[in-house]
Structure 1
Amino acid sequence: MNLTRFRYIPIIGTLKNYKKEYFTKDLIAALTVAVVAIPQSMAYALIAGVNPVYGLYTAIISSILGSMFGSSKHLVTGPTNAICLLVAASMRNYMGLDNAYQMLFLMTLLVGALQMLYGIIKLGKVINFVSHSVIVGFTAGAGVLIALGQLNTILSISIKNSAQLPTMEKLYYVLTHISQTNYYALGLGLLTIAIILICKKINKNLPGALIGIVIPILIIVMFGLDQKGVKLTGAIPSSLPPFKMVQFSFDSLNKVFSGAVAISIIGLVEAISISKSIASTSRQKIDANQEFMGQGISNIISSFFQCFPSSGSFTRSAINYYNGAVTRMAAIMSGIVIAIVLLFFAPYAQYIPNPCLAGVILVTAYSLIDQEEIKRIVKLGKFSSDSLAMAITCLATILMPDLDYAIYSGIVISIILYLKDTNKAPVRLFIPILEEDSRISRQELEVIDNKTDLLIIQLEGHLYFGSAFDLEQKLDNLVGKAKLCILKMENVSSLDATAINALKIFIKSVKRYGGETIICGARPKINTILLKANLEKELERDYKFTLSEEEILNSVAITTENERTVLSCEKDNSVVNNFAYHLLQSVTNFNGGNSSNKKTTYLENSSVN
C-alpha cells in the first residue's frame, strides 16, 4: 500500500506499521490518561457551564478523532480549561434559552469548520502571529478567572442563573453572601486539593484527581453529607454519546460566530504548542496544517455527538507521552476506556460531590499561572513588547466581559508592539583599516563627527515601508561625511519600494556633495529587486550588486593614519579600465583627506567585475 495516498489520514500509516510490542505500552499509557481524564473532563464541563456528562462525551469522541487525523502521535485531544472558559463566556447570555445546547453544538461545528479551513488554505505559519507572551498572559488570566468562578461551588453558595453571570459579578455575590458557606462542602473541596497535592509530592504518576474524588465519595456515603447541603453531580446517562443532527439557523450562527473564531484560534495555538513541546523530546516532526485538519475534523464530527469544542490537553498529553505511549493508538484507546467506564460505571458517578470537582479545577487553575515563564518574560524588560502584551492580555482576560475580545485585543497589541519594534532600520558604520600583515579589517564607529574618505554603511533586517522613514533619516545624517559610501546589504532580508526610494534619495544626495555610492553583498533575492528597481542607473556604474565587501576593498590598497582611512590611487596603464580606479581616482582630493600625511598606494591588477 502506498501510504502517501493516505497522508491526510495518519491513522492508516500507524495501523499499517503497528507492532505487537507497541500494544502493551500504548494500553498502559491509555489507562493512565483515562484515569486522569474522567474527573478532569467532568470538572471542565462545569467550567463551560454544562452538565458533566457532556465533558465525558467530548473526551471520548475528540480523543479518538483528534488522534486519528492529527499530526502528533502523543497529543490527547479533549476538554481543556482555556477552551471551556471561552465556551462559558461565549454562551453566557444564551444558556437560559431553550435551544442553548443546540447553539453550543452548532458552535462546535463552526469551530471545526474554521479550523479545517485554516488547514486547507495552509495557514499553519499564521499561528506565529499569536505571540507566546499573549498565550502566557491569556492562560494566567484564565487561571484567575477559572479559580474565581469556582468559589461559589467549593463554598456551596447557590447563585441563581450563575452560568449567565460574568465572573466578577459572581465573585461580588460570593463575597457579599460569604456567611452562607457550607463548611462540609468547603472541607471536602479542601480535602480533594490536599490529596492531589500530596499525590504529586509522592509520585507525579499517581492519579491524584481520581483519588481526591473517590475518598470524599466514601465519606459522603458513610456520613450522609448529601443530606447536609453538599451538592452532588447527580445521575449521568449510562450510554455512549448519542448521534444527533446539529440544528442550523442563521440567527444562532450570528450569535456564536465571534466566540467560535476565538475558540478556533486558541484551540489551535494550544494544540500546536503542546505538540511541538512534546516533539522537542520525542523528535517527531509536526505538520501544523495537518494538526489544523485533525482538530477541525474532530470538532466537526464531535458536534454531531453532543460535544462542546475541544483542543489538545497539555496535562493528558504529557501523561500519555511520559507513561510510555509509542503511537497515536494510546490516545485512541484512552477514549475507548472512558467510553467503557461511562457505559458500565455511570451510576456511581452520581455520588461525585461538586465541591470536589471544584477542588480539581482550582488546582488546575493554579497550574495555568506559569510563574517561571512570567518571571522570564518580565526579566527581558518590564516595558518590553513581550511584557506589555502579556500584562494587557492577562488584565483584559480577567476584566473584559467578553473573553473572545480579550484574545483579539492581545493579538492586536502583540502585532502593534511588534511593528513598533520593527520600524527601526539597523544601520552600522565602519571604516576599513589595513593591518600590519596587509590584511584589511574594519573599525566600527558609533558616530561620524568628522569627514572620512571611505565609509562602510552596513544595512540589516527588514527594510520595508514601516522602517523606511528611520532609514532615510539615518542615511541623510551621513550625507557629506564621506567621499565613497559603500552600502553593504548582505544582512538585508527584505526590501520594498519605499525603502528603495530612501536609498535612491541617499545616492542622489551623496552625488550632490561630490561623493559616490556603491552597493555590495546583496543576496540573490535582494539583487533581483535592486535590478528591477533600476538602481544601477542611479549609481551610473555597471557592476554587480552581489560583489562582496572584500572583493571591493581588496582591489584597493588601504592604509590608515591618525585613526582614519586615507586613500590615494596612482593611474597605471594596466588598470586604466579598472572600475575601482575610476571610482576612487578623485578620493585623494576630497575635503576629508589629510594631504600632508597621504601615502601612495596602488590598485591590484585584478578588476572588479
Structure 2
Amino acid sequence: MMATQQLFRWFPILATLNGYDRDTLIRDLLAAAIVTVLLIPQSLAYALLAGLPAEVGLYASMVPLIVYGVFGTSNTLSVGPVAVVSLMSAAALGEVTASGTVGYLSAAAALALLSGVILAVLGALRLGMLANFLSHPVISGFITASALLIALSQFRHLLGVPANGDTAPELMASLWENINAVNNLALITGLGVVLFLYWARAYAAKLLKALGLSSSTADLLSKAAPVLGVLATIALSFWMDFETQQVALVGLIPAGLPSLTMPIISLPLLEALLVPALMIAIIGYVESVSVAKTLAAKRRQRIDTNQELVALGMANVGAGFSGGFPVSGGFSRSVVNDAAGAQTQFASIFTAVGIALAALFLTPFLYYLPKTTLAATIIVAVLSLVDFSILRKTWRFAKADFIAVTLTIAVTLLFGVEHGVACGVGTSLLLFIYRASNPHIAEVGLVEGTEHFRNIHRHKVKTIPEILTFRVDGRLIFSNIGVLEERIYTGLATNSQVKHVILMCSAVNEIDWSALEVLESINANLLDRDIQLHMSEVKGPVMDSLEKSSFLQKLSGGVFLSQYQAFSAVRIS
C-alpha cells in the first residue's frame, strides 16, 4: 500500500487511470485538439523570440508536454514555450554564443536541461516553498517590464526593419535608426492582425453568441482568433507574393520529429549557463505554479507544489533531450485547455501528439507565414501581461513594495532581463530581511472596562507610569532583537518612574539564541536599575525553548498566563 502511494505521488497520471472512461477520453481529446491549434502559432512565435528556428518551438511543445502529463499534478496546465522565459533564454544564449565556441541550438538545449535538473532537484528535496521568497509584487513588476521589452523587440518584424538590442533604450534607438526602411506591406499586415486580435477579444464572443452559439463555445472560439489571423495572412502572403516584396516569412520548416540526443555540456558552458538556468527555473516555476493554482482553485482541486517542481523540471529535461529550449506553464493555453473541458493530464499528452502530427504534415503550409503576423500575435499576448496598476496599489499599501517594484521595472527596461531578474531576486530578499529585522513593536495599555491591551497610539487606553509594556508582533531573532532593546531603553529614558517592564509575547513564535542572550542582558541591566522584567502570554513552543536555558531562573520578574494578570499583579505590587 505504501509503495503504491509513493508511486502515485511521483507519477500522478497513474491515479487518473482509475475511473478513466470513454466520456473523459472524449473530453480530453477535444481539449487537446483545440489547444493544438492554438499552440502551433504560439510555439513558432516564441521560438523566434528566443532567437531560434521556428521548428524548435514545435520540438519544445512535444516531449515536454508528454513528460509533464506523466509527472504533473494539474489537470489543465499546458506546458510549452512562454514569452518571458523565451526572452530570458534569448538574453542568456546571446551572451554565451557570442564567442562562437558553442552553437545556439546546442546552448538552448543545454539551458533547458540545466533548468530542468535544478527544478527536479529542488522538487526531490521538497523545496517548493523557496518560491515564496520571491515577492509577488516584484515578480509582477518584472513580468510587466519583460512584456514591454518583448513588445519592443517584436516591432522590428512589425515594421519590417533590422533592429537589435537587449534593453529598451537600445531597441528604441535601433528602431529609430532604421525608421526610413519600414516595409509598408509588413506594417499594414501586422497592424491589421493586431487590430483584429483586439477586436476579437472585445467583440468576437458577443458576435458568436448573437449567432446562436452557447456562451462557453463562443468564448472558446474567440480565443482561437490568432489561428484565424495566421491562416488569413498565409493566404494573403501566397496570393500577393509577399516574398518578392521583401516581407520576411517564416520560410522552410523541416518536417519531422525531434531526435532524442544528450546536449553536449562542457565545463565552460556549464559555468556560463548555470546562473541564467537558475533564474529561468525560478521565474518559470513561479509563473507555472501560479497558473496551476489559479485553475485548480476553480475546480476545487489540489496542486502539490513540490511535485510541480519535479514535473516542470522533467519537462525541461525532456526539452533539452529533444532539441528544444526552456519551457513553462503558459497562461493563455492553460486557460483554453481548462475552458475546452480537459479532465486529466492525458489532454497534455494528446496535445503533444497533435503537435507531432502538425510537425510531420503541416509544415509546408507554414512557409508563407509572415513574421509580422507572429510579431503581432506576440505583442497582443504580452501586452496583456503589463500591469502598471501594481505601482498604484503598492504605493497605497506598502511603500517598500512600491520601491522594489519600481526598481525592478526600471532595471529590467534599462539594463535587460538578466539584470532585472537579479534585481527582482535581490529586492525580494532585501524586503524579507528588512521586514524580519523590523518587527512591529507596540507600546500597549489597558482598554478600560475590559481585559484587552491595545496600541497606545491607536486606542484610548489606560497606562500607569510605573509600568512599561511592549507587544512584539513577530519572531525574536538575531536580526531584530536590537530593535526591541532600543525601544525598551528609549522608553526608560523618557520615563524615570518605570518599575516594571512587561513583554507581551502573544505574537512571538520563536526566540533564538542570539535574542535570548540579549534578553538576559536586558534583564540584568534592568535589575541594576531596580526594574523588574516580566513576560506574558508566552506560547508553548517558546516556553519549551526558554525552559531549556537558565533564563527563567534569572528573570527578575514573572511569567504570566495573560497580559491582564501581569498588569494586575505588578500594579498591586
TM above 0.5: yes
How far residue 353 of structure 1 moved from its aligned partner, in angstroms, is: 0.7
What residue number does 2:73 align with? 71
CA distance in 1, matches of 2:68, 2:522: 56
Q: Does 1:111 align with 2:115?
A: yes
How far residue 420 of structure 1 moved from its aligned partner, in angstroms, is: 2.3
Moved more, 252-261 or 291-300: 252-261
How far residue 82 of structure 1 moved from its aligned partner, in angstroms, is: 0.5
Q: Does 1:405 align with 2:419?
A: yes
CA distance in 2, matches of 1:370, 1:446: 36
Task: Call closer, same or farther: CA 1:475–1:289 in 2, change over 3 Å.
Answer: same
What residue number does 2:477 align with? 464
What residue number does 2:234 align with? 217
Q: Please tell me whether the aligned partners of residues 92 and 165 of structure 1 are also in contact (alpha carbons under 8 angstroms).
A: no
Moved more, 531-540 or 178-187: 531-540
CA distance in 1, matches of 2:147, 2:166: 18
What residue number does 2:438 align with? 424
Q: SS state of the match for residue 486, structure 1?
A: strand
Q: Please tell me whether the aligned partners of residues 195 and 211 of structure 1 are also in contact (alpha carbons under 8 angstroms).
A: no
Q: Which amino acid aligns with 2:75?
A: K
What residue number does 1:596 align with? none
Q: Does 1:492 align with 2:508?
A: yes
Moved more, 270-279 or 368-377: 368-377
Task: Call closer, same or farther: CA 1:516–1:234 in 2, change over 3 Å.
Answer: same
How far residue 13 of structure 1 moved from its aligned partner, in angstroms, is: 1.1
How far residue 547 of structure 1 moved from its aligned partner, in angstroms, is: 2.4
Structure showing greater Rg: 1
Q: Does 1:244 align with 2:251?
A: no
Q: Does 1:474 align with 2:487?
A: yes
Q: Which amino acid aligns with 1:17?
A: G
Tell me the alpha carbon deviations over residues 545-604 of structure 1, each in whole angstroms, 9 at most, x when there is no partner: 4723355567x5xxxxxxxxx954xxxxxxxxxxxxxxx2xxxxxxxxxxxxxxxxxxxx
Q: Please tell me whether the aligned partners of residues 443 and 471 of structure 2 are also in contact (alpha carbons under 8 angstroms).
A: yes
Q: Please tell me whether the aligned partners of residues 167 and 414 of structure 2 are also in contact (alpha carbons under 8 angstroms).
A: no
CA distance in 2, matches of 1:83, 1:411: 16
Q: Does 1:445 align with 2:460?
A: no
What residue number does 2:178 align with? 177
What residue number does 1:308 align with? 325
What residue number does 1:186 align with? 187
What residue number does 1:605 align with? none
Q: SS state of the match for residue 77, structure 1?
A: strand
| Equivalent residue runs for 1:61-460 within 5 Å | 61-95=63-97, 97=100, 99-159=103-163, 162=164, 168-201=169-202, 202-203=204-205, 204-205=219-220, 206=222, 207-381=224-398, 384-401=399-416, 403-432=417-446, 435=449, 440=451, 442=453, 444-446=455-457, 452-460=465-473
CA distance in 2, matches of 1:495, 1:322: 49
How far residue 170 of structure 1 moved from its aligned partner, in angstroms, is: 4.2
Q: Please tell me whether the aligned partners of residues 469 and 502 of structure 2 are also in contact (alpha carbons under 8 angstroms).
A: yes
CA distance in 1, matches of 2:366, 2:455: 72
Task: Call closer, same or farther: CA 1:293–1:443 in 2, change over 3 Å.
Answer: closer
Moved more, 36-45 or 63-72: 63-72
Tell me the alpha carbon deviations over residues 60-108 of structure 1, each in whole angstroms, 9 at most, x when there is no partner: 2212211221222211110000110011000113556362211221111
Q: Please tell me whether the aligned partners of residues 429 and 445 of structure 1 are also in contact (alpha carbons under 8 angstroms).
A: yes
For structure 1, the 5+ residue unaligned runs are 557-565, 569-583, 585-609
Moved more, 132-141 or 531-540: 531-540
- Percent of aligned positions that are identical: 27
Q: Please tell me whether the aligned partners of residues 73 and 327 of structure 1 are also in contact (alpha carbons under 8 angstroms).
A: yes
Q: Which amino acid aligns with 1:328?
A: Q
CA distance in 2, matches of 1:484, 1:78: 63
Q: SS state of the match for residue 501, structure 2?
A: strand
For structure 2, the 5+ residue unaligned runs are 206-218
CA distance in 2, matches of 1:524, 1:258: 43
Q: Please tell me whether the aligned partners of residues 167 and 415 of structure 2 are also in contact (alpha carbons under 8 angstroms).
A: no
What residue number does 1:598 align with? none
How far residue 451 of structure 1 moved from its aligned partner, in angstroms, is: 6.0
How far residue 30 of structure 1 moved from its aligned partner, in angstroms, is: 1.6
Q: Please tell me whether the aligned partners of residues 451 and 481 of structure 1 are also in contact (alpha carbons under 8 angstroms).
A: no
Q: SS state of the match for residue 429, structure 1?
A: strand
Q: Which amino acid aligns with 1:9?
A: F
Task: Call closer, same or farther: CA 1:485–1:327 in 2, change over 3 Å.
Answer: same
Aligned equivalent of 2:59, options 57, 60, 75:
57
What's the RMSD between the two structures over aligned residues? Answer: 2.5
Q: Which amino acid aligns with 2:16?
A: T
CA distance in 2, matches of 1:432, 1:129: 37
How far residue 514 of structure 1 moved from its aligned partner, in angstroms, is: 2.9
Tell me the alpha carbon deviations over residues 372-427 of structure 1, each in whole angstroms, 9 at most, x when there is no partner: 4443233324xx121111111112112225x3232122111222133223322433
Q: SS state of the match for residue 312, structure 2?
A: helix
Task: Call closer, same or farther: CA 1:552–1:376 in 2, change over 3 Å.
Answer: closer
CA distance in 1, matches of 2:491, 2:256: 78
Q: Please tell me whether the aligned partners of residues 522 and 547 of structure 1 are also in contact (alpha carbons under 8 angstroms).
A: yes
Q: Please tell me whether the aligned partners of residues 140 and 368 of structure 1 are also in contact (alpha carbons under 8 angstroms).
A: yes
Q: SS state of the match for residue 248, structure 2?
A: coil
How far residue 455 of structure 1 moved from its aligned partner, in angstroms, is: 4.3
How far residue 136 of structure 1 moved from its aligned partner, in angstroms, is: 0.7
Q: SS state of the match for residue 462, structure 1?
A: coil
How far residue 432 of structure 1 moved from its aligned partner, in angstroms, is: 4.5
CA distance in 1, matches of 2:525, 2:276: 54
What residue number does 1:44 align with? 46
**Structure number having the greater helix percentage:** 2
How far residue 445 of structure 1 moved from its aligned partner, in angstroms, is: 2.8
Q: Which amino acid aligns with 1:412?
A: G
Q: Please tell me whether the aligned partners of residues 500 and 531 of structure 2 are also in contact (alpha carbons under 8 angstroms).
A: yes
CA distance in 2, matches of 1:422, 1:386: 15
Q: SS state of the match for residue 422, structure 1?
A: helix
How far residue 363 of structure 1 moved from its aligned partner, in angstroms, is: 0.7
TM-score by length of 1: 0.84
Q: Please tell me whether the aligned partners of residues 90 and 259 of structure 1 are also in contact (alpha carbons under 8 angstroms).
A: yes
Q: Please tell me whether the aligned partners of residues 520 and 546 of structure 1 are also in contact (alpha carbons under 8 angstroms).
A: yes
Task: Call closer, same or farther: CA 1:102–1:433 in 2, change over 3 Å.
Answer: closer
Q: Does 1:538 align with 2:540?
A: no
